[in-house]
Structure 1
Amino acid sequence: MKNYLIISPSDNVAVALEDLQKGDVLNIDGNELIITERIPIKHKISLESFKEGDMITMYGVPVGRVIKPIALGTQITVDNVKHESAPYGYKEHAYTFNKPNVTHLKNKTFLGYHRKDGQVGTANYWIFIPMVFCQNRNLKVLKEAFEAELGLKKENPYRLKIREMVHGVSEETYTEASENLTDRVFQNLDGIKFLTHEGGCGGTRDDAQALVNLLAGYIKNPNVAGATVMSLGCQHAQVSMIQEALNKSFKTDKPVYYFEQQQYPTENEMLISAIEATYKGLEEANSITRQLAPLSKLSIGLECGGSDGFSGITANPLMGLVSDKINTLGGKSILSEFPELCGVEQDLIDRCETEEIAEKFIHIMDSYSKRAEDVGSGFDMNPSPGNIKDGLITDAIKSAGAATKGGRSPVADVIDYGEYANKQGLNLLCTPGNDVESTTGLAGFGSNIILFSTGLGTPTGNIVCPTIKISTNSILPTKMKDIIDFDAGRLISEQVSQEDLSEELIDLIIDVASGKHKTCAEKLGQDDFIPWKRGVSL
């Protein structure tokens, strides 16, 4: 196995696939390159001598500018390179997409919940939504009641450990929490989810509208059967706003029940009314069963978090190949995290199906970047300490690898935060790079399943969307075995082909979408939900 990788023929740096020591020799196209210092695995090796001002290239695009001379065979670091990316703009461009072979996938199906609007869910949830944070306590009370009486409450194994610490004896053997489906009152309901948040009032009217659009998107999401909406009455995010959204931009005819506390004499009366109405809705939701659906009904969210130096080599390109296959079948994929598209804008612009779509992408990227700069930040500050430690030293390096999650499909649409993905094919969704804010947006604006790559490890999940966690290296599944669903690191560790891995991953997606396999995030109850307050979040 090679101990280095050059991603694109035009690159002037390589990636170390193992720890390299001073004196190690790399054979590159018949030429010997002597390593002159220790270079950790996943970090970048200079393939030529650089002087100050030279440009570093990876994935065939500029990813940084040299700020100190760099000798041949040494490490690229934050001390000798700073972020820089290429300018971009719309130009007439004929894009050719080489579609993957999907003939063998055309007859494959999954078992999903068919909705009246043509969408198909991979799960069947009822959701409770507060229009304002003032209702969070009421949701907590209702959550305890519904889960206890409907057989949805999971045993908390940590109570046994605390009991042992308190009394000095262990009455039972410690085990992880299990889920007993036979105790459920509604067998066809995957659960009731409570979307608590800290918004709805106190911010701007734009903040309120963004929150309302997100909540409306969650009601429209195919994994949701219906919703109970709890309101105070005087907040910015009014019930009338979500009703309007559900009648227009997020049109749906699902059952939605509204309860406004200031219209009731007591809190108790409101909660009793909410329980009675919701129970009838749960009965209706339980009447829906899983039915066969083609893979064209999959809408895949594409996310990465806790990225490492292998993310853009193993897991992200794998997700891109799966995305291309689903899109070729007539399905949909959604690529988010706009700060992590910095440096690859021109490639995405060239892939936009129309000038209008390209110009919308340019406008959103420019506006987002300017907002960051106005508060003294910028996309160049996006890489986290963990990213940098593992070789992603500039935002452009991180972005070039992150963008591979979108494969090579044409860009069918660009959707701003607050808009629903309705077009078949690859959609670009404006969200921050923050894991949970981004996955929250993916589920809110059209995904029915999420693929999530990670190299450093993160437990992130979503409250209504099954989230398949894909490791970029083969160490992580052993190190953090309770959060990883799929090992894409086998591309390097076992030299399994990307094509074979993509077929394995699609089979896993089908099992998860059919309710036959629970993701690690689902088993852990990782119900993450954080609305993006439309400010600067990278």
Structure 2
Amino acid sequence: MPARVLKVHPADNVIVALRDLSAGEQIEFDGQTYVLPYAVGAKHKFVTEDRQPGDPIRMYGVLVGKATRPIQRGEPITTFNLKHDADRYGLDKKQPYAWLPPDVSRWQNRTFMGYHRADGSVGTRNYWLVVPLVFCENRNVLILKDAFERELGYAQPETYREQVHELLSLYRAGDLDVIKKMQPFVDASQNRTLPQPNPTKANRPFKNVDGIKFLTHEMGCGGTRQDSAYLGSLLAGFINNPNVAGATVLSLGCQHLQADTIENEIKRQNPKFNKPLLIFEQQAGTEYALMAQAVKETFLGLIQIDNVERQPAPLSALTIGLKCGGSDGFSGISANPVLGQLSDIVVGLGGKTVLAEFPELNGVEQELINRTPDTAKAQKFIDLMGSYSASAEAVGSGFDMNPSPGNIKDGLITDAIKSAGAAKKGGTAPVADVLDYAEPATTPGLNLLCTPGNDVEATTGMAGSGTNVILFTTGLGTPTGNPVCPVVKISTNTVLQRRMPDVIDFDSGPIIDGEQSIEQNADALLEYIVRLASGEEITQAERLGQDDFIPWKRGVSL
């Protein structure tokens, strides 16, 4: 029978409910009996001992909050009886750390079929990228998107357009009552065609080009020079991403982010850069001249990158982003530890993993400092965390305000609880490097990347740092994707996977149900990633055309 409760760490004074527990129920655990004075919903926690105001609550072995009123043994923790608190951290508290790598012998000789770049990196996709340096070029980017995607077979299915066409036909025929009585177009049982993947490669002229990706944004001018500089670094990172084979850049001409700036930043980040790069400036002539030239040169670029074919690559060529969003009370118990186990395997093989979301490392800073052997990098982490936290507090939104209503409803009562579970994605490996937003990940091992917790700003930052796969755990369901980096959605519970199968790619729910261990689930996930990286699978986000791109705007608009 599957377990009904779980204590995550021996030092914890809370127990997690894995199933809904009723008021008055007796729970036997670890030789103790707990009588629950109130019902405890699945994913929530009850205390193992009486707590008085100011007493600490510990989970995952760390301080996650303090009681604000008396809490009796067996009573659940809530926003009414608990407030966020976390242990202080610093270099003066740094402790020695020893890592025992997992056995990676089973994966040592495994390969995936990737696109090898001249700089030595390997892509899991072969994309052409179209980028505006300033928001003034968004319209032109979207015109190019419509033209190229429709003609070359990369456009999304027109299911919803067909639905509108059918409704319009009925309306014109005067059949308003028929429209009102129609059932929603939701499944195949109603003889409706659900959205399907993009047309197969057999229908495309460029068999080795996985897609043309078009970015739009609201930056590049009119804000601070700092924001323009960060945008330039981010766009350069996207162009340098191993999944990108070439790029078209549209510039107005007068904006803060100049064309030569982006060229210099690309080469600064990657001195071995050797991809086709096309830059067009609108103020040099008419819009028609700009667009006609961009269409022609981009088409020739597609012909060029279509000559690149997938070749075997070691798993050490993977750079995997680690992210969570729409988290729940199971995130830190199932899916996030699975990512941690997988991260340790990839690091053990010589690959790179990137753990983002600094607001969701609040409370586990000292553990990460202990795991950072380079003192200068540990200090960089401290400085980035401190300045970010201070900036958030300056606008009245400290890290303690991080949990969303959905997080709280599903058991993440304080930011420290959320963060301690989120940090499990980073496994146990030493921290190899600490990166600010848009800094490229070049050091094998676990990298810490300063990003917001915001799902798209974080995934955008990871792709800008060079990830070629992003793993994204979710307990509530999040449809986030990325233009250049496949985003694998991993459910923390099987109920979610069954409810949102068009969003979820992989299920870690069998861990909660007692059917798999974390290690077994991680092995299955890595097998999936090998197929995904080889182009044998596509993610649901890719299937839906979920190409989300939001740069982190750190300054203020002027």
Matching residue of 1:15: 16
Matching residue of 2:549: 529
Matching residue of 1:262: 283
Asked if 1 retains the 8 angstrom alpha-carbon contact of 2:362 and 2:416, the reply is yes
AA paired with 1:163? H
Among 248, 256, 270, the residue aligned to 2:268: 248
1:447 and 1:378 map into 2 onto residues whose CA distance is 29
Matching residue of 1:354: 374
Among 287, 294, 306, the residue aligned to 1:286: 306
> 1:126-171 deviations in whole A, cap 9, x for unaligned?
0000000000000111111111222222321012211222223999
Q: CA deviation at 1:256?
A: 0.7
Matching residue of 2:174: none
1:388 and 1:215 map into 2 onto residues whose CA distance is 35
AA paired with 2:276? P
Q: CA deviation at 1:94?
A: 2.2
Q: CA deviation at 1:535?
A: 4.9
| SS state at 1:436 partner | helix
Pair 393,173 (structure 1): closer, same or farther in 2 beyond 3 Å: closer
> 1:313-366 deviations in whole A, cap 9, x for unaligned?
000000000000000000000000000000000000000021011000000000
2:79 and 2:61 map into 1 onto residues whose CA distance is 20
- The yes-or-no answer on 1:130 pairing with 2:119 is no
Asked if 1 retains the 8 angstrom alpha-carbon contact of 2:156 and 2:545, the reply is no
Q: CA deviation at 1:25?
A: 1.2
Asked if 1 retains the 8 angstrom alpha-carbon contact of 2:363 and 2:420, the reply is yes
Select between 363-372 and 238-247 the one with higher mean Cα deviation: 238-247
| SS state at 2:164 partner | helix
1:81 and 1:241 map into 2 onto residues whose CA distance is 50
| SS state at 2:302 partner | helix
Matching residue of 1:500: 520
| SS state at 1:258 partner | strand
Among 116, 141, 159, the residue aligned to 1:157: 159
Select between 126-135 and 234-243 the one with higher mean Cα deviation: 234-243
Equivalent runs, 1:299-310 vs 2, <5 Å: 299-310=319-330
AA paired with 2:194? T
Asked if 2 retains the 8 angstrom alpha-carbon contact of 1:160 and 1:174, the reply is no
Equivalent runs, 1:332-343 vs 2, <5 Å: 332-343=352-363
- The yes-or-no answer on 1:46 pairing with 2:50 is no
2:309 and 2:197 map into 1 onto residues whose CA distance is 24
1:482 and 1:148 map into 2 onto residues whose CA distance is 23
Q: CA deviation at 1:173?
A: 4.2
AA paired with 2:323? E
1:193 and 1:320 map into 2 onto residues whose CA distance is 30
| SS state at 1:134 partner | helix
Asked if 1 retains the 8 angstrom alpha-carbon contact of 2:438 and 2:462, the reply is no
Asked if 1 retains the 8 angstrom alpha-carbon contact of 2:224 and 2:555, the reply is no
Matching residue of 2:115: 113
Matching residue of 2:187: none
Matching residue of 2:365: 345
Matching residue of 1:380: 400
- The yes-or-no answer on 1:446 pairing with 2:466 is yes
Matching residue of 2:218: 198
> 1:32-90 deviations in whole A, cap 9, x for unaligned?
11111111110110110000000110000000011111111101000111010000001
TM-score between the two structures when normalised by the length of structure 2: 0.94
Matching residue of 1:364: 384
AA paired with 2:526? I
Asked if 2 retains the 8 angstrom alpha-carbon contact of 1:51 and 1:70, the reply is yes
| SS state at 2:15 partner | strand
Equivalent runs, 1:60-79 vs 2, <5 Å: 60-79=61-80
> 1:272-315 deviations in whole A, cap 9, x for unaligned?
11112212211111000000000000000000000000000000
Matching residue of 1:236: 256
> 1:94-130 deviations in whole A, cap 9, x for unaligned?
2111110110101111000000111100000000000
Asked if 2 retains the 8 angstrom alpha-carbon contact of 1:11 and 1:60, the reply is yes
> 1:237-262 deviations in whole A, cap 9, x for unaligned?
11121111012124322111111111
| SS state at 1:420 partner | coil
Select between 241-250 and 73-82 the one with higher mean Cα deviation: 241-250
* RMSD of Structure 2 on Structure 1 (CA): 1.4
Asked if 2 retains the 8 angstrom alpha-carbon contact of 1:135 and 1:230, the reply is yes
Asked if 2 retains the 8 angstrom alpha-carbon contact of 1:58 and 1:397, the reply is yes
Q: CA deviation at 1:20?
A: 0.8
| SS state at 1:301 partner | strand
AA paired with 1:176? P
Matching residue of 2:168: 166
| SS state at 1:248 partner | helix
Identity among equivalent positions (%) equals 55
Q: CA deviation at 1:174?
A: 2.9
Equivalent runs, 1:320-469 vs 2, <5 Å: 320-469=340-489
AA paired with 1:135? E
Select between 148-157 and 116-125 the one with higher mean Cα deviation: 148-157
1:511 and 1:457 map into 2 onto residues whose CA distance is 23
1:100 and 1:535 map into 2 onto residues whose CA distance is 42
> 1:513-532 deviations in whole A, cap 9, x for unaligned?
00001111111111111111
Pair 172,138 (structure 1): closer, same or farther in 2 beyond 3 Å: farther
Q: CA deviation at 1:498?
A: 1.3
Asked if 2 retains the 8 angstrom alpha-carbon contact of 1:460 and 1:526, the reply is yes
Pair 378,173 (structure 1): closer, same or farther in 2 beyond 3 Å: closer
Asked if 2 retains the 8 angstrom alpha-carbon contact of 1:461 and 1:526, the reply is yes
Runs (5+) with no aligned partner, structure 1 = none
1:67 and 1:173 map into 2 onto residues whose CA distance is 54
2:539 and 2:270 map into 1 onto residues whose CA distance is 28
TM-score between the two structures when normalised by the length of structure 1: 0.98
| SS state at 1:475 partner | helix
Among 165, 172, 175, the residue aligned to 2:194: 175
2:331 and 2:555 map into 1 onto residues whose CA distance is 27
Q: CA deviation at 1:177?
A: 3.3
Asked if 2 retains the 8 angstrom alpha-carbon contact of 1:112 and 1:514, the reply is yes
Q: CA deviation at 1:172?
A: 8.3
2:23 and 2:192 map into 1 onto residues whose CA distance is 51
2:21 and 2:144 map into 1 onto residues whose CA distance is 57
Q: CA deviation at 1:236?
A: 0.9
2:279 and 2:19 map into 1 onto residues whose CA distance is 57
2:7 and 2:288 map into 1 onto residues whose CA distance is 65
Matching residue of 1:225: 245
Asked if 2 retains the 8 angstrom alpha-carbon contact of 1:216 and 1:250, the reply is no
Pair 473,535 (structure 1): closer, same or farther in 2 beyond 3 Å: farther
Q: CA deviation at 1:186?
A: 0.6
AA paired with 2:110? K
Runs (5+) with no aligned partner, structure 2 = 171-177, 183-189
For these two proteins, the number of residue pairs brought into alignment is 535
1:385 and 1:287 map into 2 onto residues whose CA distance is 49
AA paired with 1:254? K
2:276 and 2:84 map into 1 onto residues whose CA distance is 49
Asked if 2 retains the 8 angstrom alpha-carbon contact of 1:471 and 1:484, the reply is yes
Asked if 2 retains the 8 angstrom alpha-carbon contact of 1:217 and 1:250, the reply is no
> 1:191-230 deviations in whole A, cap 9, x for unaligned?
1000111110111000000000000000000000010100
Matching residue of 2:185: none
